[in-house]
Every structure is written in C-alpha cells, then in structure tokens.
Structure 1
Amino acid sequence: METFSDLATAAYCPRKLYYRRRDDDRGPPEEVERIRALATRYEELLDSATDLSAEPIATTPTQYRSNLGSAKARLDCWEALVDPLKTDVLLEGKDCRGIAHKLLEDPAVPVVVSAGEPPERGVWEPQSVRATAAAKALAWERAEPIERAFVEYPAYGRIREIRLTTRRKATYRRALRTVQSLDGPPPRLHDDSRCGPCEYREQCGVKTQSLRSRLPL
C-alpha cells in the first residue's frame, strides 16, 4: 500500500521519489522533528516569558507570535489543535496509509505538520496531496465523509485549513497513479524550480536556473 509521504514526494517530483526508494532514504531528518515538535507547544511559544531565540523558528519572535496570535483568533478549533487528543496516528485507507501528525475529533479532522515555509496563501501541492490522502484514509476508516484538513507550518507559526475540493482530489489521484506506476527513473524536470533545493540534483544531473517556489493550491 502506498504511503502519504511517497504521494507527497511524487507530487513534488516523481524522480525524487525514485531516488528515495532506491536509496531507502525516506525518514525525516532530526531538524524536521525539532520543527514539528513546535506544533504541540503553541501556547508556550505565545507566552512572552518563553525565550524563542533557541527555538527552530524561521521568523523574528515578534512576527512569530503575531502569526500564532492571528491563528488563535481565527480558528474555532484552536484548543484542539494546540492540545490534540491524538498525535502521530497511523491511518490506513483503501489506497494508502500513513501518519496524521494530529487527529482532531468531533468532528474528525486530520492534521499534517510541515517543516517548510508556507506560501503566501493556501498550501503547497505536496502538503495538499498528503493532507488529502490523510483525509481520505480517515474517511475510509470511519466510513464517513471527511471534507477538510489542516496543514501547519510551525517554524512560521502558520496554520492553514483546506477543503477537499474537486481539484485537490484530482491532484491526489494523479499522485497516486504516479506512485503506483513507478518502476524506473522518470524523466528529469529540466530547469524546474523544484530542482534547485533537491538533495538529489547532483546525481539527477539536471541543470537549474531558478529557485522560485511552486504555485500553491
């Protein structure tokens, strides 16, 4: 059965997934775990008594607390996000399985935590695919529709709610087909913005010219 992380990687670049599978290199680095750990400490990080200088945040302390404060004022499920009943929950659906970093209840909503930088609006396509996969797996387990999910970017104090639109579901299905059919190195993504920061760019042999980010969904 395919995994959420493989689907997200395929949405970013199928060739990157090929290299990760070949090298059996799909575990998150230690720094990623440090950043994800921020997602269960939001109230502590909002407290002005907490020294943020040693935390793995990617903004100034003032901006960070401003971002978190905006999320707290905007979201009606803030308390559940800050102190979820369940974390790192394995979900197994019809087509894929993986970890929801948080699982909210009443109503049931999966949460994906990303160590990266958020776009100005929405979420990046790989996180959209991963969150959609988590929602569909949860819907399969519960035998009930799950039509939304959250993606958190805790290094920036940003929390984004997404709806499982027709477009998101179609992107998820495309990533699923890509993973299921992967049996050799896919074509290179020449001069694509995704190639610049990729850890496999040297062995891939692609030439990069731009580091601009992908458009969010």
Structure 2
Amino acid sequence: MTPFSDLARAAYCPRQLYYARRDGDRDVPGEARARIDLAFRYPSLVDAPDATLRRLPIRRSPAAYRRNLSRLRERGDYDRLSNPEHQLAFRSGKDCHGTVHKVLTGDSETDPPVPTVVSPGEPPESGVWEPQAVRAVAVAKAVAWEREREVPRALVEYPSVGTVREVRLTTRKKAAYRRALRAARAIDGPPSRVDDDRCSACDYRERCGTGRRSFRSLLG
C-alpha cells in the first residue's frame, strides 16, 4: 500500500522518493504545516485586518489575499470548503492510503463526494502541478474505493494564496497516476538521475550529483 505522499514524490522525481524513504523523511516542515492550516480558517481570514494577515504565512499582500478569499467565497462549494463533511481523515484505497485534507459533500444527495488536497505552495498559472494532480487522483480513488462509488474529480487548495483548482480524473490524469504508482513500487535502489529544473534546490542534490530544483521548494 503506497502513501499518497510517495506518489506525489514519484511523480516529481523517483530518485528523490528513494532518498526520502531511505532517510525516513516523512515530516512536513513547520512553515508548510502553518500554510496548510490556513485552509481551515477561510471564514475568519476573509475580512481579517492587515495586521492579522501580516502575521500569517500568506503568499500575497493582505489586500490581494482578501480579494482572493472574497472570490473564493463566491464559489458554490464555499460553505462545504469552510465546513467539510470530513477533514484530516485517513483513507485507504486499493493501491494507496494517507490523509485526505477534506472531503466535501456533493451538490446534492446523489452527487459524489469531492476530496481535496491542500498545498502549502504556489499554484501554476493554470491547472495544478503534476505531483499535486497525481495526489488528487490518488485521494479521489481512495475515497471512491471506500464509498464504493465513482469520484470523478478532486480539488487542490492553495490557502496561502487563497485559490482553489479542480482536478478531473481524465484519462491523462489517471495515466500519470498509474506511472507514479509503478515508479513508487519499483524502487529498490537509486533510480536514474535527472538533470533539469527540478534539481537546483533539492534537499538531496549533494548526494545525488545533479544540479537544480526540489519537490519541497515547488510545493512550499
């Protein structure tokens, strides 16, 4: 059974996952935890004064952050985002398991639930980063397995920015999930090196021998 976090790392760089497993690197950094916590405080932050927001690990100016949360409040699922059916719940599917940050009820009694992944990082200009999309597919599949019904979409929240993005379980997204799952399961030694923009700030770059950007720096 593969943890959700391992799938995200495998989608980013299988070699990084190898080092994280070898070193027991499972802890979420304190600042990242503080940013994730913002996803459970939207109602108290949307009208918060500048002084309050400046004390928080947000990634926008107080005025821009309030504007983003005001737009978030216009979403049809805002009440469910603010008061989810379940939060920080452990879920186990056929292939993977881990903590699902939120599970939202459907729009109606017959609609499927909508799980969310909360990221402490910055979103891309559109959509979500592939490691987060893979994790979103994984949590959707785990919730679907548990409830014995299809879950066709998930959300990725970026609470330090005040933005929420949707991930549909398309054929392409599910294929990326399967690739990450195979990569995570296949690791029994250091995978092949990569040498691109993922490597420059990687926590393992000195022992890995590559040069550029990290999963942790990408996601927060």
| CA distance in structure 2 between the aligned counterparts of 1:140 and 1:48, rounded to whole angstroms | 39
| CA distance in structure 2 between the aligned counterparts of 1:5 and 1:188, rounded to whole angstroms | 20
TM-score of the superposition, structure 2-length normalised? Answer: 0.91
Q: Which residue of the partner structure matches residue 155 of structure 1?
A: 160
Q: Which residue of the partner structure matches residue 199 of structure 1?
A: 203
| CA distance in structure 2 between the aligned counterparts of 1:37 and 1:207, rounded to whole angstroms | 32
Q: CA deviation at 1:168?
A: 0.3
Q: Which residue of the partner structure matches residue 30 of structure 1?
A: 30
Secondary structure of the corresponding residue to residue 52 of structure 1: helix
- Range that drifts further, 41-50 or 171-180: 41-50
Q: Which residue of the partner structure matches residue 214 of structure 1?
A: none
| CA distance in structure 2 between the aligned counterparts of 1:69 and 1:16, rounded to whole angstroms | 38
Q: CA deviation at 1:68?
A: 1.6
User: What is the letter of the counterpart of residue 61 of structure 1?
Assistant: P
Secondary structure of the corresponding residue to residue 159 of structure 1: strand
| CA distance in structure 1 between the aligned counterparts of 2:72 and 2:17, rounded to whole angstroms | 33
The answer as to 2:39 corresponding to 1:39 is yes
Secondary structure of the corresponding residue to residue 116 of structure 1: coil
Q: Which residue of the partner structure matches residue 66 of structure 1?
A: 67
The answer as to 2:179 corresponding to 1:174 is yes
5+ residue gaps, structure 1, are: 212-217
Q: CA deviation at 1:188?
A: 1.0
Secondary structure of the corresponding residue to residue 193 of structure 2: coil
Q: Which residue of the partner structure matches residue 193 of structure 2?
A: 188
Secondary structure of the corresponding residue to residue 53 of structure 2: coil
Q: Which residue of the partner structure matches residue 147 of structure 2?
A: 142
Q: CA deviation at 1:71?
A: 2.1
5+ residue gaps, structure 2, are: 107-111, 215-220
Secondary structure of the corresponding residue to residue 185 of structure 1: coil
User: What is the letter of the counterpart of residue 155 of structure 1?
Assistant: S
TM-score of the superposition, structure 1-length normalised? Answer: 0.92
| CA distance in structure 2 between the aligned counterparts of 1:68 and 1:122, rounded to whole angstroms | 18
Q: Which residue of the partner structure matches residue 16 of structure 1?
A: 16
Fraction of identical pairs, as percent: 53
| CA distance in structure 2 between the aligned counterparts of 1:83 and 1:170, rounded to whole angstroms | 32
The answer as to 2:131 corresponding to 1:126 is yes
Q: CA deviation at 1:207?
A: 2.5
User: What is the letter of the counterpart of residue 71 of structure 2?
Assistant: S
- Range that drifts further, 160-169 or 198-207: 198-207
Q: Which residue of the partner structure matches residue 57 of structure 2?
A: 56
String of CA shifts for 1:89-115, please: whole Å, max 9, x gaps: 111111111111011123311110001
Secondary structure of the corresponding residue to residue 44 of structure 1: helix
Moved over 4 A (4+): none
| CA distance in structure 1 between the aligned counterparts of 2:3 and 2:48, rounded to whole angstroms | 39
Secondary structure of the corresponding residue to residue 155 of structure 1: coil
